[in-house]
């Protein structure tokens, strides 16, 4: 079982959302999950689908949300930042009940592999 410590450093200031500054990990094995995409008519449907895909990938390795040590999020439209933050405010307390939210790098990019996709999330987990 991985020893995972997610925390913030006061000298770095308060995080701007549901993420932490650092994850310190002692693990025998890591799980790298490719960026997940999901179909959907709007951003909220795709966001829910992406995190459902991540959950399936974690479960396939005998892991769960508590094993996640880092996210990298790619959004196509900067206007979706607020929607992404609202999703995290609503869902992350259930996914991470201890309030230790993994670090997340958020990038705004030109497009994803298919023009219909609005976001992609890559995940690293420790086992």
Over range 104-126, report the average pLDDT.
Answer: 98
pTM of this prediction?
0.96
Q: What is the CATH number of the domain that holds 57?
A: 3.30.1330.40
Burial class of residue 114 (count of CB atoms within 10 Å of its CB; 0-12, 13-18, 19+): exposed
- Element containing residue 7 per DSSP (H, E): strand 3-7
Q: What is the mean pLDDT of the chain?
A: 97
Q: Report pLDDT for 17.
A: 94
Nearest CA to 6 out of 29, 16, 19, 17 is that of 19
**Quick one: tokens of 35?**
């960026």
Structure confidence at residue 1 as a pLDDT band (50, 70, 90):
confident
% of the chain beyond a pLDDT of 90: 99
Q: How many domains does the chain have?
A: 1
Over range 50-70, report the average pLDDT.
Answer: 98
| CA–CA separation, 28 and 125 (whole Å) | 11
Domain ranges, residue 42: 3-126
Helices of type H across 1-127: 43-60, 81-95
């Amino acid at each position: 079982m991985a020893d995972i410590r997610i925390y913030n450093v006061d000298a770095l200031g308060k995080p701007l959302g549901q993420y932490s500054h650092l994850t310190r990990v002692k693990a025998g094995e890591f799980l790298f999950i490719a960026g997940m995409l999901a179909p959907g008519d709007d951003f909220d449907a795709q966001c829910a689908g992406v995190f459902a895909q991540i959950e399936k990938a974690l479960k396939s390795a005998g892991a769960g949300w508590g094993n996640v040590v880092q996210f990298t999020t790619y959004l196509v439209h900067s206007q979706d930042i607020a929607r992404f933050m609202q999703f995290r405010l609503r869902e992350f307390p259930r996914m991470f009940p201890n309030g230790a939210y993994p670090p997340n790098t958020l990038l705004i990019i030109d497009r994803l592999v298919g023009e219909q996709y609005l976001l992609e999330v890559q995940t690293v987990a420790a086992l």
